Amino acid sequence: MNETLTSARPDTAAPFRPRDTLAWRSPKGRLSFLMRPRTLVVCLALVAVTFVTLVVSVSVGDYEIPLPVVPGALIGQGERLDVFFVQGVRLPRALTAIGVGAALGIAGAVFQSLSRNALGSPDIIGFTSGAATGAVFAILVVGASRVVVSLGAIAGGLVTAAVVYLLAMRNGVQGYRLVLVGIGVSAMLASVRDYMMTRADLTDALGAQIWMIGSLNNRGWGEAAAVWIGVALLAPVLLALGRRMRFMELGEDTARGLGVPTRSTQVIALAVASALTGAAIAVAGPIGFVALAAPQLARRLTRTGGTTLVGSALMGATLLVVADLVALRALAPTQLPVGVVTAVIGGGYLIWLLYTEWRGGRA
């Protein structure tokens, strides 16, 4: 799951294999991976936590379903109400949470890799804000259906990605320049959203404001299918670029010397990651801080210094499905939007991250 460095052109040379890694190569040699045992253990643990949380999520709620009954309800056996709540209400919501979390986690890993900055996530740089602005425009101005709102979110994310990239591009994309430009663009987009809300009907503005919090309430099979189709189509593209991004983390000059087409890699990776972010936001709204925290936590748990796309996806899925369970049951007698929970957790994580960066700078 960690792509490795080679001594020549990255797409042709045989990878160097450290002693503590497991290697896999496709029959024709086009794909190869090195996997550290610790990374494998962490990923399996995240899968287990996600699965257990999913099972618990489909059993809790105003209508309690005993855990022993859940497996039967999943395959359509048992009481009619049990099957209805498990298959029709809670399972699609949990699967939507996993898909959205995985999409945000892998997108955050791409942004942080390209910017070489711990703050380089869609939340901070402004891509989330762009997708949210596109969706709010569709809600307030177009008065559109959920499908058009989703398309507006994806379009807003892609347009913002293009604007930020063009403004930040000077001899390649530099980390702090990308972050600073993204923060500025995000502030401008926030003012655009505020203006649209002041000019909108009160009922429409209230609906847009609720959507802006980020929520998984009332999400069904349509939303689950949409986000998983987006992940299935876009994530493989980013995984295929993972090896190039590992080289680019060494610096653009070094990457070009190793034969990496840095400019095209940046454009494709940013565009695909922005579309993945837009797809997640289109389904669940702008859920904050998952894209920021998931890649960092995955790197710390696996103890790797580079891009961990698969680990970030699994960590994002775990974080969001756990946060949704907390929002569903633990904090209030009624359901909370999951964006409230992730904002509390992510805000604390951001403060801690800034503090550690400050301590590291002083050292």
- Per residue of the chain (363 residues), give pLDDT as tens: 443 333 333 443 344 444 556 666 666 656 666 667 788 888 999 999 999 999 888 888 778 888 888 888 888 887 888 888 888 888 999 999 999 999 999 999 998 888 777 777 787 777 788 888 888 888 888 766 777 877 888 888 888 888 887 887 765 556 677 778 888 888 888 888 888 888 888 877 877 877 788 888 888 888 899 899 989 999 999 988 888 888 887 777 787 787 888 788 888 888 888 888 888 888 888 888 888 888 888 888 888 777 788 889 999 999 999 988 888 765 555 677 888 888 887 777 778 777 776 776 554
Copy the structure tokens of residue 150. Answer: 């989703």
Task: Give which of 322, 324, 241 is closest to 276, Cα–Cα.
Answer: 241
Query: Is-contact 288 339, C-beta < 8 A?
Result: yes
Query: Is-contact 219 96, C-beta < 8 A?
Result: yes
Query: Is-contact 4 14, C-beta < 8 A?
Result: no
**What single letter denotes the amino acid at residue 70?**
V
Query: Is-contact 248 114, C-beta < 8 A?
Result: yes
The confidence score (pLDDT) of residue 24 equals 63
Query: Is-contact 321 342, C-beta < 8 A?
Result: no
First to last CA, the chain: 32
3-class secondary structure per residue, 20-74 = CCEEEECCCCCCEEEECHHHHHHHHHHHHHHHHHHHHHCCCCCCCCCHHHHHHHH
The confidence score (pLDDT) of residue 361 equals 56
Nearest 5°: phi and psi at 60?
Answer: -100, 160
Q: Looking at the domain covering 22-362, what would its CATH class be?
A: mainly alpha
- Distance, CA of 291 to chain centre: 5
CB contact set of 87 (below 8 Å; sequence gap of 6+): 73, 74, 76
- Distance, CA of 279 to chain centre: 10
Copy the structure tokens of residue 9. Answer: 């052109």
On average, the pLDDT of the chain sits at: 79
Where do the structural domains in the chain lie, given as residue ranges? Answer: 22-362
Q: Where are the alpha helices (DSSP H) in 63-201?
A: 70-74, 80-83, 91-115, 122-125, 127-137, 146-168, 175-199
CB contact set of 193 (below 8 Å; sequence gap of 6+): 132, 133, 136, 212
